[in-house]
Amino acid sequence: MMGVNHAITGAAAWIALTGAVPYLTTGALPLDPIGVLAGAAVCAGAALLPDADHHSATIAHSVPVLGRLVTRAIGEVSGGHRHGAHSLLAVGVAALLAWALTLLTVPLDGFGPVAIGAGVGTAALVCFGLKARDFVDRWSTAWLLGIAMGLFIVVVVPEQIEWFPVAVALGYAVHLAGDALTTGGLPGPWWPWVPRPPAAFAEVPVLNRVWMRNGYVALPLLGDTGSRRERAFGALLTIYVSVASGYQLLLGIGIDPLSIV
């Protein structure tokens, strides 16, 4: 799946989980509008993290030189693109690291302990999401907006930090789900063990595309990465996120959207 669609699926998943839009959300983890909108931006960025194993991914361009060096190193350590960084084990590692960031605090006069770790994480992920969706042209602008969001969260509404690890884990997992819907597939839930199918599977239509010869698994409903089906899926989710975000904005300023209809 393309980076732009990974980002929108992350935002859509977060809104569906936490929002209060009638008939469009689950309400499984209800949050106030600030948490829904800020978390959607963080989750969108987190949905790009697995592709840090690819030197041409969005994240690779986030910081000159250093971005490419880091992504190349991650690719080598994880075994290359769509290997270790695209596994359930990696989801757990990402969630653990995100939680660890919330513990990194510094005392600040007048504010008490400030969760600087979660603030930096929020800034980076919001930056990645903004750039992936082409909301800004320059990386410098994306970083400034990301930093502004990070400061807002840790200084103005520090209680929102509680959902940070959940947003990271959800975004990471949604990325894997998106890739599993393409023909490339994923190494499966048991990585680093990637069992190959019996030879007979190669001759069975449909099944040989679900459990491939290299051991990868997929449910390729979206076809190849960048296909028309994927673009259509991304467009539908963009509409969903736009409508749901508008609803949350109105709630945030004290307007009941249902009273307008």
Closest CA to 43 of 136, 156, 175, 158: 175
pLDDT of residue 134: 86
Over the stretch 73-109, which tens digit does the pLDDT of each residue have?
Answer: 999 999 988 999 999 999 999 999 999 999 999 988 8
CB-CB contact of 12 with 171 (8 Å): no
C-alpha span between 16 and 239 (Å, rounded): 13
Closest CA relative to residue 120, chosen from 141, 136, 143, 138:
143
Neighbours of 8 (CB within 10 A): 28
For range 178-182, the mean pLDDT: 96
- pTM of the predicted model, to two decimals? 0.94
pLDDT tens for 48-65 read 999 999 888 888 888 877
Strands 106-108 and 112-114: antiparallel
Return the DSSP state at 57: S
Confidence (pLDDT) at 261: 56
Residues 108 and 180: their CA atoms lie apart, in Å, by 44
Mean pLDDT along residues 176-197: 93
* Confidence grade of residue 239 (pLDDT, cut at 50, 70, 90): very high
Residue 4 — pLDDT band, cuts 50, 70, 90? very high
Q: Among residues 255, 253, 247, 261, which one has the least CA distance to residue 24?
A: 247
Domain locations in the chain as residue ranges: 3-260
Amino acid at 141: T
